[in-house]
Amino acid sequence: MSRQVFLYDPPDRFVAGTVGLPGRRTFFLQATAGSRVTSVALEKTQVAALAERMDELLDEVVRRSGGSAAVPAMAPSEISDSGPLDTPIEEEFRVGTMALAWDGEEQRMIVEAQALVELDADSEEDLAEAEERLLQDEENGPPMLRVRLTGAQARAFAKRALDVVNAGRPPCPLCSLPLDPEGHVCPRQNGYRRGA
């Protein structure tokens, strides 16, 4: 079966969002073009890493171009998107690996999110070999979401994604672990504290 690629070039909308209450949220990347919507699930840490790396890559593009690249230093307020995810949210796949690239010719950020794949291997060498084959198999690989964004769209995505990540449970002022609505057992309150 050939690989399924959900391509948005360009998307009308590309955002990170959540479903559920803090502490039990499911994170999604969602791309929209017209009536077509693709939602893929991923971990909170993946959203944070994607947003941070996106900002770093955009900063590097600006630095290398001497400021001539069509990349704003900050997310433009006129294209900020704080709306909820489009419904119905139907998960196409759970993200395993992600990649970012800058197309200097087209002045576009390329974001790829590939489905999580379970590999069976008897040794680490077998696992490495299986992963390499999978990455090189462009035709038969796992499903992938590929989105091409302008510099401004990429900045707006990164800002919203970090806002979504930071909108979770507030940290305990003593131990920095997340506070749950049901209560919090603070290691600092009962005398237990890891390493100093």
**Residue 85: per-residue pLDDT:** 94
- Of residues 117 and 133, more confidence is placed in 117
Would you place residue 120 in the very low, low, confident or very high pLDDT band (cuts 50, 70, 90)? Answer: low
Q: What is the per-residue pLDDT across 9-32, written as a single tens digit (0 to 9) for each?
A: 999 999 999 998 877 889 999 999
HEC string of the chain equals CCCCEEEECCCCEEEEEEECCCCCCEEEEEEEECCEEEEEEECHHHHHHHHHHHHHHHHHHHHHHCCCCCCCCCCCHHHCCCCCCCCCCCEEEEEEEEEEEEECCCCEEEEEEEECCCCCCCCHHHHHHHHHHHHHCCCCCCCEEEEEECHHHHHHHHHHHHHHHHCCCCECCCCCCECECCECCCCCCCCCCCCC
Q: What is the mean pLDDT of the chain?
A: 86
Q: Is the pLDDT of residue 128 over 70?
A: no
* Other beta carbons within 10 Å of 160: 20
Q: Is the pLDDT of residue 193 over 60?
A: no
**Residue 97: per-residue pLDDT:** 92
